[in-house]
Chain A
Amino acid sequence: MILFGFLIITSFAIMRLRNLFAVVMLSGVFSLLSAGLFVAMDAVDVAFTEAAVGAGISTVLMLGTLALTHQEEKPAQHSRALPLLVVFVTGAALLYGTADLPPFGSADTPVQQHVAPEYIERTPEEIDVPNIVTAVLASYRGYDTLGETVVIFTAGIAVIVLLHSSTRRRRREDGKEADT
């Protein structure tokens, strides 16, 4: 509950601030807080990923992006009525959706009754690793994880190609100018 309160305070602070450096730092804080929230909800693996990726790497990459652009956010040019309407409609839809969710922590939710009991039952004898998340990720759902790895591979290659080709072109143009 306290963590939730801090999350809301952080998001309001992010909305109010114009200094992008502070916004990046606060979004790192936001990630760390939600990682703490995941720990409180017993999702340690998710929390670990959130802390490492959300609070760590993406903050550094955002800072790298900031170094390429400006420190201050430009004031909005257009009216704010339409974005506000979109936010309210989306929020109402989400609230409407949560009404159908089973209560937090209840044992007879559809998620708990589908394949999860089978994984929990079969992992000790078939895979024999204490962390069932790892067993599901790497063994039972190895195809999915292979797909995820290929997605990371493709995304990484794309970023390298996009960023490197432009620097190389600029360098080549600089070289040409130096020649003439």
Chain B
Amino acid sequence: MDHHFILRVVSKMLIPPILLYALYVQFHGDFGPGGGFQAGVIFAVAFILYGLVYGLDHLRRVAPPSMVRAGIALGVLLYAGTGAFSLFKGKNYLDYAALADAEHAVGGQHLGILLVEAGVGLTVASVMIAVFIAFASRAPEIKDTDW
């Protein structure tokens, strides 16, 4: 794939805005459309684009499969842990009011939503990257003549 120069340059220019847009969707989800699911997918798309253009070995170096697999579990743990934290604080499971003082209940809600959305985003992004790696590492390498 050495001679796909334009493709490489264009994708290199596109990947940072995609990542930035994913973060915007992630953290702006309370104010506009979006949230953890969509942000996770967009975030993963940046990695998949990198993997498509630069090859699977480069993608493995950027996102080591062991780290991606850990991310799948960490996202769920972050979500469930937020719930468990409010249990320890003496509130109901996933009652975000426990995350702040009694007079700042709304702030607790904001923090809680932020945390669980981050968990969702991490899990979704990791699963998408892992599934792509799993698919692509089975496939024979696409030959340059197939384009």
Which residues of A54-78 are within 8 A (CB) of B?
56-57, 60-61, 64-65, 67-68
CA A57 to CA B73, docked complex, whole Å: 21
Q: In the complex, what residues of B have CB within 8 A of residue A126's CB?
A: 105-106, 109
**Between-chain CB contacts (< 8 Å), 16 pairs:** A52-B42, A57-B41, A57-B128, A60-B45, A61-B132, A129-B113, A131-B29, A133-B35, A135-B30, A137-B35, A152-B123, A153-B123, A155-B127, A156-B130, A160-B69, A167-B137
Q: Is B110 an interface residue (CB 8 A)?
A: yes
Q: Is A49 an interface residue (CB 8 A)?
A: yes
The chain A residue with its CB closest to the CB of B78 is: A149
Q: In the complex, what residues of B have CB within 8 A of residue A128's CB?
A: 106, 109-110
Q: Is A139 an interface residue (CB 8 A)?
A: yes
CA A164 to CA B69, docked complex, whole Å: 12
Q: B33 contacts A48, CB within 8 Å?
A: yes
Binding site for B on A (CB under 8 A): 44-45, 47-49, 52-53, 56-57, 60-61, 64-65, 67-68, 126-131, 133-135, 137-139, 142-143, 145-146, 148-150, 152-153, 155-157, 159-160, 163-164, 166-167
Q: A49 contacts B37, CB within 8 Å?
A: yes
Q: Report if A143-B123 is in contact (Cβ < 8 Å); known contacts: A45-B33, A129-B30, A163-B135.
A: no
B136 to chain A, nearest CB (A): 6
CA A134 to CA B37, docked complex, whole Å: 11
Q: B132 contacts A152, CB within 8 Å?
A: no
Q: Report if A48-B38 is in contact (Cβ < 8 Å); known contacts: A64-B136, A68-B138.
A: yes
Q: A145 contacts B38, CB within 8 Å?
A: no
Q: In the complex, what residues of B have CB within 8 A of residue A67's CB?
A: 139-140, 142
Q: B119 contacts A149, CB within 8 Å?
A: yes
